[in-house]
Chain A
């Protein structure tokens, strides 16, 4: 069965609204998790890395005030796209790292966000 639950799988929202994506690990605890963004037919781009209980580390060029990450517990992380715009439309994927070497081994099914 699924190790990581990510939802919603698809969301359509209007410009200016905020969207929250939830990522939950189902049967293990992970101190580190990653959020990725993937444009159509492109590779995964790391947006941010977060450790449970501390602030996320954002990659260069990623606006932390626009993409709010909350890593509230060892099994739950959320990504909120605030004041979404059409250019935020993309496929967002979360990943949990088991903790031994922080390698992303378990991925959510992804969320396809469309901003109209």
Chain B
């Protein structure tokens, strides 16, 4: 069975603060993929990153960074120097090879000006 837990339902931070969105996953497979998506108020989903289970390298893309820790089954997402435009719902997702993708319940992030 596979499961994705995003324990933080809603987070509010003041602009320019750093914020980390947590994601913990469960799977019995050794080959799997992890994802983060952003859903702004307009509704469309925006793909942010895909990481396969064999690549534990952390990744940085501008103000975004991801920390993949297989030992704790976590794939956390950090936004540095947050901006109001970062306000959105963020979904973490897991997909076992050959199986469907499972989304977490999402974390609603509010960046206050």
> What is the interface of chain A, defined by CB distance below 8 A to chain B?
34, 41-44, 46, 49, 59, 91, 93, 95, 101, 103-110, 112
A101–B105 CA distance with the chains assembled, in angstroms = 23
Contact A103 B33 (CB under 8 A): yes
A-contacting 9-mer, from B15-23, B42-50, B54-62, B72-80:
B42-50
Other CB < 8 Å A-B pairs besides A59-B100, A107-B44, 15 of them? A41-B108, A43-B91, A43-B103, A43-B106, A44-B45, A46-B100, A49-B100, A91-B43, A93-B43, A103-B35, A104-B101, A105-B50, A106-B47, A109-B42, A110-B44
Pair B44/A109 contact, Cβ less than 8 Å: yes
Cβ of B110 < 8 Å from any Cβ of A? Answer: no
| Nearest A-chain residue to B97, judged by Cβ | A101
How far is it, in angstroms, between the C-alpha of A46 and the C-alpha of B99 when the chains are bound? 12
Main secondary structure of the interface of B (DSSP, over half): strand
- For B, the interface residue count at a CB cutoff of 8 angstroms equals 20
Chain A residues positioned under 8 Å from B108 (CB to CB): 41
Docked CA distance A107–B43 (Å): 10
Q: Check A107 against B46 for contact (C-beta < 8 Å).
A: yes
Task: List the A side residues contacting B103 at CB < 8 Å.
Answer: 43-44
B45 lies within 8 A of A107 (CB): yes
Where the two chains meet, the residues of B that have a C-beta atom closer than 8 Å to any C-beta of A are 33, 35, 37, 42-47, 50, 91, 95, 97, 100-101, 103-106, 108
Kindly name the residue among A44, A49, A103, A109 whose own CB sees the greatest number of chain B CB atoms within 10 A. Answer: A44
Shortest beta-carbon distance, A95 to chain B, in Å? Answer: 7
B43 engages A112 (CB within 8 Å): yes
Give the residues in chain A near B97, CB-CB below 8 Å. Answer: 101
- Shortest C-beta distance, A39 to chain B (Å), equals 11
- Bound Cα distance from A41 to B104, whole angstroms: 12
Q: Which residues of A contact B35 (CB under 8 A)?
A: 103
Alpha-carbon distance A12/B46, docked complex (angstroms) = 25
